Structure 1
Amino acid sequence: MTPASASPTPSHRGARGPAATALYGPELDGDAMPELYERLRRAHGPVAPVTIAPGIDAWLVIGHRELLRLTREEQDFSHDPRRWTLLREGRVPPDSPIMPIIGWRPALLFADGQQHRRMRTAVSEALTQINGHELRRSVRAAAERLIASFAGRREADLVPHYARKLPVQVIIELLGLDERTGQHMAHAINGVVIANADSVNAGQRMNAVLLALIKEKRERPGEDITSALLRHPAGLTDEEVLHNLAVMFVTGQQNTVNWISSTLRVLLCDPAFRSSLTVGHLSVDDALDLVLWRHPPGQNVPARYATRDLDFGGQRIRAGDMLLLGIAGANRDPGVLPEDGVPVVGNRSHLAFGAGPHSCPAQDPARLITRTAVDTIRHRLPDLELAVPESELAWVRSPWDKGLAALPVRFSEPQLPSIMERAAGAGVS
């Protein structure tokens, strides 16, 4: 299905540029987005004009080489949205659904140069304190609890019942949130990412949860990421800790949900790949990388802002223009793929985690969480199969996400862990 919003729409570019294509609207279908990217590539080349909300123009960078330049050259492309012409001219409504994602925050995602390096050092070092063995054990235990909760029904929707719940439970523990507060946080994040009329309120609810958490950890620090950020010698303020946690939670939660569900879809829908995985010719990591090439969890990522007028990807870019990272489109650039268009197994030159100084600092724990989630359900539900034809699977309608809305499955012989296995997994002798 081709989304209605994929047709060119009038824009305020006027005579200085081509008409833009809308990347928003209720009929935006993630399954049709690859076709849209190829149409944009044929019509405009590696940098295409788009709109991300009514009257909000941007450039979508879908060339692999161009996206690398966009992410690496801070002197030409800034992270700071306060450089954005439309925002400086007051042409973006304060209640626009894109503002919770685009709006400036004192966080590493919106900073350049020394300020970015200062915050990234704190975030990266907080993440390195995560014990990989403990994290794997925690993910496996949470995954097995979730599987046990629906195993008796012999059917489940793996998006809401597994992929969406599992990262929340893990991230809640990493940040030092209690489970109830973490669930409130998860609901708020979903509201932010969907980018609808409630997004601004959702962002405020998320901030309120984090402010309370920071206050608690100032008074009673623990062995968690929040406490690690608060005590880091970089001296982050409470506001900086809040917004860096928000960035980590939003990107970590939503992208991991999408990565888990999309990987399970590949295993369920590609019998040859599943067979190769079963006999050991391919690894779960091969499946994870295949998904990062074909269905990156974040298909379009905001944003960079041109610091000067320049020619880029065949377009005339003006200082203050917004440029989006078209991850999914760049991963399909014919210039980096073999002639058959199929990524080579083991090739990790995809751009799912970005590139340059702003590449995702949490990609290692995200991979560990996703790999453990996929591996656990493969072993506990060995005869797992789709409950509907693949053509009926629905995708989330979002300009940013590339995720399934549902993944209904059925199975007959769940292999649940014994009491002894659960005790061993918890470290009990």
Structure 2
Amino acid sequence: MTAASQSARPVRLSDVAERTPLVATTTSPDANTVYEQLRKRWGSIAPIDLEPGVPGWLVLGHSAAVGLLRDDHTFIKDPSIWNGHGKGLLGPGSGLHLVLAQAPKPTLADADGAKHARLRPPVDDALEQVDEARAGAITRRLCGMLIDRFEDRGRADLVAEYAAVVPFLVLSELDGLEPGQAQRLQEITRAIFEAGADARALTDELREIVTGHIALSRERGTRDIAGVLAVHPNFENDLERAQTLTAITAAATESLMAWVAQTLVIILSDPRFSHRVSGGRLHIDDALDEVLWRSTTNPNLMPRFAVRDVVLDGKLIERGDPVVVAVHAANHDPLVQSSDPWDTVGNRAYLSFGAGAHRCPAPRLGRVVARIAVAELLKRLQLTLTTDPNRVEWATSPWMRFPARLPVTFPSPRRQPAYGTWDTDPDEDDDAGWAADR
């Protein structure tokens, strides 16, 4: 990325006394308002706080976002060059210890250059061999199992009891994990993020479980995701294989959870979609795309770090400064966004799957899982959202946007047919045909 020449003295992070917290962009009822206020004041790049007292830059413009994501020579994923190391910026309970770790991590998400070029092909190979029809059948079966657990109750929290569970169970089965292993890994993963800096013992246990599963998959010669990673020659050791399997599962689970939950919010609360989806005039895919345009499941990507000083849009991004791409803001950039909201229906030109070397490796597979998860729920239950859509409480993650809770009620199946008024896909024959058409 070429540095822009500026006539005035460029702004440094240290020049800005009060910075907007990054979490304000994900927890606000109207995220667009927050991004637009930043855009009006600062232009395409704004100073923010990743956490209180931890400064960084937020890229708001579409062109700047695409350029940065594709420039992996100037902006890299390796947090060891963060210029905040040694300054005592992170408290013991900070949620950024894993994000800004100084010690090198053998993970694809933090790899750059030759290392990334070595670690990315195994991920692509492992995900490409997943049969989408089988993934669809697994998703449908697991969705039915989860719905069975709460349908007699007449009420549920669709985040905790459904959207947060379906993706993990599906990915775990595609990984070849046993149910007991999958449950324990989910418990550990949640605990690690809650524990922050005090997660060493949990991390050791997670590594032991996943490394053991990799070794067993190699011994058995399985052709699931773990089995492909277990024998791929690009890895130097089983630690890299285990870290990669863990990263695939965690990233897919979090993103799909947010995608499913937000799509349900739109369908259950927005008349533009609720009436048209239930009447068969819009496909669930249209609602899925609307989420990726309007609200974006990963609104702020994990930070990149500048390898040298560079001036962009009048801001001096110094070596080691963390730079966060605001995908949500880029999707809503007035320079690329139409004023007609229906222009986004069927349009998949959003940045929600990223760009450049770290682009999402399996958007098709993710769509299969998300689509079926939403469709199965709407087919089985006649749902009513029991909270004001304008008062939905959003989770406090600075990276993800999803409702903390999604309470619904529905008639008991004893009084309501299992398959009611939602005709989510009148032309659907099977998941294999759907996948092949897209």
TM-score in terms of structure 1 length? 0.86
The Cα shift of 1:130 comes to 0.4
Distance 2:315 2:417 in 1: 55
Matching of residue 395 in structure 1 with residue 398 in structure 2 = no
Aligned to 1:212: 212
Q: Secondary structure at the match of 1:401?
A: coil
Looking at structure 1, the residues matched to 374 and 407 of structure 2 have their Cα atoms a distance apart, in angstroms, of 16
CA contact (8 A) 2:97 2:196 kept: no
Aligned partner of 1:34 in structure 2 is 32
C-alpha distance in 1, partners of 2:246/2:100? 13
Matched position secondary structure for 1:100 = coil
Between 329-338 and 287-296, report the one with greater CA deviation. 329-338
Alignment of 1:16-415 (within 5 A): 17=16, 19-24=18-23, 29-87=27-85, 89=86, 91=88, 93=90, 95=92, 96-103=94-101, 104-193=104-193, 203-340=203-340, 344-381=344-381, 383-412=382-411, 413-415=416-418
**How many Å separate the matches in 2 of 1:42 and 1:193?**
34
Looking at structure 2, the residues matched to 35 and 194 of structure 1 have their Cα atoms a distance apart, in angstroms, of: 29
Query: Deviations 1:163-219 (Å, cap 9, x if unpaired)?
Result: 111111111111122112212222233344568566666545533432332343344
CA-to-aligned-CA distance 1:130-187 (integer Å, 9 cap, x gap): 0111110110011111112111112211111111111111111111221122122222
Unaligned runs of at least 5 residues, structure 2:
1-11, 421-429, 431-438
Which whole-Å CA distance do the structure 2 matches of 1:246 and 1:373 have between them? 22
Cα 1:343–1:37 shift into 2, 3 Å = farther
Rate the CA distance shift 1:340–1:198 in 2: closer, same or farther, 3 A: farther
Distance 1:184 1:172 in 2: 11
The one-letter amino acid paired with 1:277 is: V
CA RMSD of aligned residues (A): 2.7
Deviation larger for 102-111 or 144-153:
102-111
1:129 deviates by 0.8
Deviation at 1:335, TM superposition (A): 1.5
Contact 1:332 1:341 in 2 (8 A): no
Deviations 1:257-295 (A, max 9, x none): 111011011110112312222333321111111001122
**1:172 counterpart SS class:** helix
In 2, the alpha carbon distance for the partners of 1:19 and 1:75 equals 30
Cα deviation per residue 1:37-92 (whole Å; 9 max; x = unaligned)? 221111111111111124321111121111101100112111222222223x4545
Provide the secondary structure at the position in 1 that maps to 2:303.
strand
Q: Please identify, of 216-225 and 73-82, the stretch whose mean Cα deviation from structure 2 is larger.
A: 216-225
Structure-1 separation of matches of 2:192 and 2:349:
29
Per the alignment, do residues 197 and 68 of structure 1 end up closer, same or farther by CA in structure 2, a change over 3 Å counting? same
1:30 offset after TM fit, Å? 4.3
CA distance in 2, matches of 1:300, 1:112: 19
**SS of corresponding position for 1:319:** coil
- Considering Cα pairs closer than 8 Å and 6+ residues apart, tell me whether 1 or 2 has the greater RCO: 2
1:421: which partner in 2?
Answer: none
Conserved 8 A contact 2:82-2:100: no
**Aligned equivalents of 1:388, 1:136: Cα separation in 2:** 31
Q: Report the CA distance shift for 1:232/1:20 in structure 2 as closer, same or farther (over 3 A).
A: same
Alignment check: 8 A CA contact 2:79 2:99 kept: no
User: Aligned pair count?
Assistant: 404
Matches of 2:176 and 2:297, distance apart in 1: 25
Asked whether the 8 Å contact 1:168–1:186 carries over to 2, the reply is yes
